[in-house]
Structure 1
């Protein structure tokens, strides 16, 4: 009986270690839940919302206009930022008279509050290794207008689902 109990305890310990290793790998390299801090993505995301972030597809270089991502701003900021991709590598982004243009076409940004004015008149070509991001709450967002294009290598994942608050679960 003692041998049987020891064998069973050993099996449980191995199962717990394997499950912990799998969870660590999934959280670290595949999937994560982040908490939004601040109001730069209102009305899409609010302070303290929880967002599911997928990390695997970043390695396939399949970033898209309008996609919400998380990234490390490097020495230009602090913490992890969450913003929307406006310009991809090689795109020409222009902000003029409160509107955003990509490759000469005015963006239709139905995710913004009506009447949103985008400050910071500028025009730039996004470098081949970078993206241009903006927050949805343009009045308070610290984004590419101020910190410049974001190196693709700094992207940590893209938002796939708001998971909290539960009454506002939404796929992105």
Structure 2
């Protein structure tokens, strides 16, 4: 009996260690869990929502993707915003609308009518992105930062799934 118990404990500990290592590697290289810290992405995301993002596809960034990234002015802070401007584009924010190289961008996800306090022209450098929140009147985003553009290297994950709260689970981000 004693030998069986030692064998059971040994198997349990080994299995636990293997499970722990697999989970750690999975969340270090494949997935990321993050919490929406503010109301800047409403109505798409609400403050306190928990998201699961994918890390492995950070190089395949498209306009309108929702990304978690290191904030350029404070790299220790993780922000979640929508990609609006792509590398090399000129973004114009004017009169409540946003244009990329002269083409008016979608705004069906934007909460309310955007005020004109941050109207301007922004030239996105190569290897960088221009980010905005969906709640444009209550979003501290590229329009207001000292360093206005997010480096591709600062991108941490694509937001893919709202996991919590359970009543609002969705993968349509």
Question: Is TM more than 0.5 here?
Answer: yes
Cα distance in 2 for residues equivalent to 1:149 and 1:160: 22
CA contact under 8 A between 1:99 and 1:117: conserved in structure 2?
no
1:104 pairs with 2:99: no
CA contact under 8 A between 2:128 and 2:150: conserved in structure 1?
yes
Q: Secondary structure at the match of 1:80?
A: strand
Partner of 1:89: 87
Partner of 2:61: 63
Partner of 2:133: 135
Q: Secondary structure at the match of 1:16?
A: helix
Deviation at 1:114, TM superposition (A): 4.2
> 1:98/1:78 Cα in 2 relative to 1: closer, same or farther (>3 Å)?
farther
Partner of 1:21: 21
Partner of 1:53: 53
Which one has the bigger helix percentage? 1
> 1:118/1:133 Cα in 2 relative to 1: closer, same or farther (>3 Å)?
farther
1:39 pairs with 2:14: no
Cα distance in 2 for residues equivalent to 1:74 and 1:108: 25
Q: Give the unaligned 5+ runs of structure 1.
A: none
> 1:76/1:11 Cα in 2 relative to 1: closer, same or farther (>3 Å)?
closer
Cα distance in 2 for residues equivalent to 1:27 and 1:156: 12
Cα distance in 1 for residues equivalent to 2:129 and 2:72: 14
Cα distance in 2 for residues equivalent to 1:113 and 1:39: 11
Cα distance in 2 for residues equivalent to 1:19 and 1:30: 16
Partner of 2:12: 12
Cα distance in 2 for residues equivalent to 1:166 and 1:93: 36
Partner of 1:162: 162
Question: TM-score scaled to structure 2, two decimals?
Answer: 0.90
Cα distance in 2 for residues equivalent to 1:77 and 1:141: 18
CA contact under 8 A between 1:53 and 1:159: conserved in structure 2?
yes
Q: Give the unaligned 5+ runs of structure 2.
A: none
> 1:113/1:18 Cα in 2 relative to 1: closer, same or farther (>3 Å)?
same
